[in-house]
Amino acid sequence: MVEYDVIIIGAGSVGVPTALATVNDGLKVLVIDSLSSVAQAENKHAIGGIRATHSDKGKIWLCQRSIEIFSNWEEKYGDDIWWVQGGYTFLAYTSEHENLLRETVKLQKSYGLNIDYVDVEKIKEIIQGVSDDGLLGGTYSPQDGNASPLLSLHSFFSQSKKLGAEYRFKEKVIDIISEKNKVVGVKTTNGVYKTRSIINAAGAHAKEIGAMVGVDTHVEPESHEAGITEPVKRFLSPLVVDIRPCSDPKFGDSKNYYFYQNKEGKIIFCITPTPNIPGLDRRETSLFLPQISKRMVQLLPRLRNIRVRRTWRGLYPITPDGNPIVGKVNEIEGYINAVGMCGQGFMLGPGLGELLSRLLAEKTNSKDEEILSSLSCNRDFCVEEELK
């Protein structure tokens, strides 16, 4: 029987970049997914935003590396993944949010991020036509950007296969085999595969994979909806985030919402519902579009006449504090978490894949160890990340 250095469970935003990083470092890699091909779970529901402007240093450093990978991808591999370095803008319409953003910028700058809090006139320059009624300013991070999740993952997939990574689709993992508290293999609906290490990159189903080795994984999926418009002439550069909550007795309350214009000229948008919607339901609703379109048009009136092409619903694997769970566990040797991306797996995936490869090779550096400490499964989950 063939023995793999590592088996990755999940061929999505984390699993596929990790396959590329590990096979590039000379490991024998197998990726297993229950669906029919790469990127068929939450990656195809992702909207494609990529930012390093978080408030957790682990996420900041991982996404800084991801941005380097995305921005150099076409030059290195020849594949156009629709990377656009248009930046991110978080808007402040209340003094509370202004103070929050200013304090967050101080922290982000201390970790080396290119970000500033800018005044109303700069925001109006960056987002032409934005409503300035009550606008106090906002943040602008020009090195953030966006790319196509599907084009990116298929390119990561093809590059990893060229280097020798193997994939098994339409196979469901039904057990992780261990001996004396060490991983020795994985059992699927089609067979058994030997390995010394596994990486749980199962997204919304991470908890059931962890249970196979007796690991309590603090990840619960939630439903979020998104949509896309027809293409129009390019007029919007950054991804715009409005962090105000909204009370809507007719269509439902919501927290923040965000949107950007992709390389094709289409506006892609998403909203955070309140209360949260736990579970695995991916059926889109009739409430989402009137809920978010009202808010978007109030913020940027020039969106009014753009036609929406479709909406969809995906899952965010949520942790109690809004940060991923990454690294080894004490309970069993050879088992590694790469779970709980909280809807940010696409932007975290490339940087995280390289970290996981160094972890497997026992070649982590001091920054890696800081990241792993901040994202450990044994951390204090009581403090939520700002602007998660």
pLDDT at 382 over 90: no
The C-alpha atoms of residue 304 and residue 361 are separated, in whole angstroms, by 53
- Whether 181 and 302 map to the same domain: the answer is no
Question: Would residue 242 count as lying in a domain?
Answer: yes
Mean pLDDT confidence for 13-25: 98
Torsion of CA 165, 167, 172, 177, to 10 degrees: -30
Question: Would residue 177 count as lying in a domain?
Answer: yes
Task: Single out the residue in 299, 318, 337 at which a domain terminates.
Answer: 318
- Whether 131 and 228 map to the same domain: the answer is yes
Question: Would residue 333 count as lying in a domain?
Answer: yes
Classify each residue of 338-356 as buried b or exposed e, where b means 16 or more C-beta atoms within 10 Å of its C-beta: bbbbbbbbbbbbbbbbbbb
- CATH number for the domain including 112? 3.30.9.10
The C-alpha atoms of residue 100 and residue 17 are separated, in whole angstroms, by 33
Question: Would residue 387 count as lying in a domain?
Answer: no
pLDDT confidence of residue 296: 97
Q: pLDDT by residue (tens digit) across 105-130? A: 999 999 999 999 999 999 999 999 99
Q: Bridge-partner residues for 273, per DSSP?
A: 254
Question: Would residue 386 count as lying in a domain?
Answer: no
The C-alpha atoms of residue 44 and residue 220 are separated, in whole angstroms, by 19
Long-range contacts of 113-121 (CB under 8 A, 24+ apart): 113/52, 113/53, 113/60, 113/64, 113/141, 114/141, 114/142, 114/143, 115/53, 115/139, 115/140, 115/141, 116/140
Count CB-CB contacts under 10 A for residue 147: 27
Which tokens belong to 224?
A: 């979020």
Question: Would residue 82 count as lying in a domain?
Answer: no
The C-alpha atoms of residue 51 and residue 86 are separated, in whole angstroms, by 10
- Whether 233 and 355 map to the same domain: the answer is no
- Whether 304 and 156 map to the same domain: the answer is no
Do the bridges between strand 266-273 and strand 182-188 make them parallel or antiparallel, or are there none, so unpaired?
unpaired
- pTM as predicted: 0.96
The C-alpha atoms of residue 76 and residue 322 are separated, in whole angstroms, by 33
Question: Would residue 384 count as lying in a domain?
Answer: no
- Residue 133's domain comprises 88-142+220-318
- Whether 181 and 205 map to the same domain: the answer is yes
By C-alpha distance, which of 347, 26, 14, 37 is closest to 167?
A: 37
Task: Give SS3 for 184.
Answer: strand
Which tokens belong to 102?
A: 């200013």
- Whether 100 and 23 map to the same domain: the answer is no
- Whether 175 and 119 map to the same domain: the answer is no
- Whether 259 and 332 map to the same domain: the answer is no
Label residue 265 left, alpha or beta by phi (over 0 means left) and psi (-120 to 50 means alpha).
left
Question: Would residue 382 count as lying in a domain?
Answer: no
380 pLDDT band (50/70/90 cuts)?
confident
Sequence-distant (6+) residues with CB within 8 A of 359 are 327, 328, 336, 368, 372
Q: pLDDT by residue (tens digit) across 328-348? A: 999 899 999 999 999 999 999
Sequence-distant (6+) residues with CB within 8 A of 213 are 176, 178, 183, 331, 332, 335
- Whether 303 and 185 map to the same domain: the answer is no
Q: pLDDT by residue (tens digit) across 135-162? A: 999 999 999 999 999 999 999 999 999 9
> For the chain, percent helix, then strand, then coil, each to nearest 5?
30, 30, 40
The sheet carrying 182-188 orders its strands as 3-4, 192-195, 182-188, 173-179
Domain count, the chain: 2
Instruction: Note whether 326 and 338 are within 8 A (CB).
Output: yes
387 pLDDT band (50/70/90 cuts)?
low
Q: pLDDT by residue (tens digit) across 265-301? A: 999 999 999 999 999 999 999 999 999 999 999 999 9
- Whether 170 and 271 map to the same domain: the answer is no
Instruction: Note whether 256 and 243 are within 8 A (CB).
Output: yes
pLDDT at 386 over 70: no
pLDDT at 384 over 90: no
Backbone angles phi, psi at 90, to 5 degrees: -100, 130
Do the bridges between strand 166-168 and strand 29-32 make them parallel or antiparallel, or are there none, so unpaired?
parallel
- Whether 235 and 370 map to the same domain: the answer is no
- CATH number for the domain including 172? 3.50.50.60
- Whether 159 and 234 map to the same domain: the answer is no
From residue 256, how far is each of 42, 64, 135, 158 by CA, in Å?
A: 20, 23, 16, 35
